[in-house]
Structure 1
């Protein structure tokens, strides 16, 4: 079994927690308090996670609970936080940011790939629900306030966006708020 399959990790954004549990036994829940908001995680290797926190991306050592800053994100914007994130099939990591009060137009989606950070989409409120379809070369994301799912075309070799976002699905029922699933 791959070491990645031995552990299940998740976050509690509001409580600033990283939680984990071994998948194949009755071990206790491990809870690590974080000094700032933690919104998304991804595997780097069997000993490290990539943490997407309110002001930066960090390399986190699972056993020692130590973290090292990889790069700052919007660290001069004290009213911002990361919101959602997911690794893509090409080895990139996408994440969104938002105003802590969900101010319209302050959210962005970024892609971190080969040690480069690039803003992919901007001018949103609460971007989330990032996911990928490698076979169709697509990335999807949701905007909660618009009840809409958007799609981007991706480059076959790198996974880099190669189109402008377009509406994939617009919910007609305004009570439906697409969220991170």
Structure 2
């Protein structure tokens, strides 16, 4: 069963985050520079001066938010902001895109070109005050997510249709080199945002396919949730029992009624609670 969780149409809905201490879903409309939420049926939004795309939670009232030029701390109650660090602030070509907190409390964030310039994107990790570049030469960074034990990270280049995995050390830093998780090119699929459930299975939204597909830890296909919106962008688990899948979508270049809305679906499978970001 698929329900409309929020019927506001996002030009580019992205970055859903279930805040475990607030019991509340947050997400972004990147191109309209908005953070969005729906609190007990009441739509809420916060407007910013530049593109915002992903967040992690720091406390009950504070989010770490990635924008086109920085990572900043945002207070949901007072709307006060405090810059934590620049993020390719000297590069006018790029903006932030997909991001997620890892189980060790680090925050991974990917960048991409405003016009998806080939190889313009990179992936960084912010951990205990340090921002470190991890990978470069990526066109559209996506699918940043983590195994329940915190020892494996996943990420994709949507443009190249490749989803990779890499081992992590005990502090959450990459150990070794990335390895292929799944090549979607033969299926004609484009991996977008992703999340890993409590069983270690990945749920991957696939741009233009109108679905979120589930994959086993070995990369094997394990099922799908089909949605009315074709441009699905990113999933997140939430709800009181962490068994509801929320999915953002994009109305970009489309005019259909379902496009750009935020969706929900019961799964019967428990997700992982998003870790707190350690500043």
Same fold (TM over 0.5): yes
The answer to whether the 8 Å contact 1:151/1:167 transfers is: yes
Partner of residue 177, structure 1? 190
For each residue in 1:19-41, what CA deviation from the matched residue of structure 2 results, as whole angstroms up to 9, or x when unmatched?
1122xx33x21111111000101
For each residue in 1:77-133, what CA deviation from the matched residue of structure 2 results, as whole angstroms up to 9, or x when unmatched?
111100111000000000000111111111100000011111111011111110000
Partners of 1:159 and 1:134 in 2: how far apart?
Answer: 12
Specify which of 10, 14, 19 is matched with residue 31 of structure 2.
Answer: 14
Partner of residue 46, structure 2? 32
For each residue in 1:140-162, what CA deviation from the matched residue of structure 2 results, as whole angstroms up to 9, or x when unmatched?
0111111111011100x201111
Alignment of 1:66 with 2:83, yes or no, is: no
- Equivalences for residues 32-111 of structure 1 within 5 A: 32-111=46-125
Partner of residue 240, structure 2? none
How many residues are paired up?
A: 176
- Equivalences for residues 93-132 of structure 1 within 5 A: 93-132=107-146
Partners of 1:134 and 1:154 in 2: how far apart?
Answer: 12
Moved runs in structure 1, 4+ residues, more than 6 A?
none
Which of 1 and 2 has higher RCO (CA within 8 Å, sep 6+)?
2
The Cα shift of 1:174 comes to: 5.0
Partners of 2:185 and 2:118 in 1: how far apart?
Answer: 21
User: Which consecutive unaligned segments of at least 5 residues does structure 1 have?
Assistant: none
- Cα gap change, 1:21/1:136 in structure 2, threshold over 3 Å: closer, same or farther? closer
Alignment of 1:162 with 2:179, yes or no, is: no
User: Which consecutive unaligned segments of at least 5 residues does structure 2 have?
Assistant: 1-18, 194-233, 235-279
TM-score normalized with structure 2 length? 0.61
For each residue in 1:56-90, what CA deviation from the matched residue of structure 2 results, as whole angstroms up to 9, or x when unmatched?
00000110111111111111111110011100000
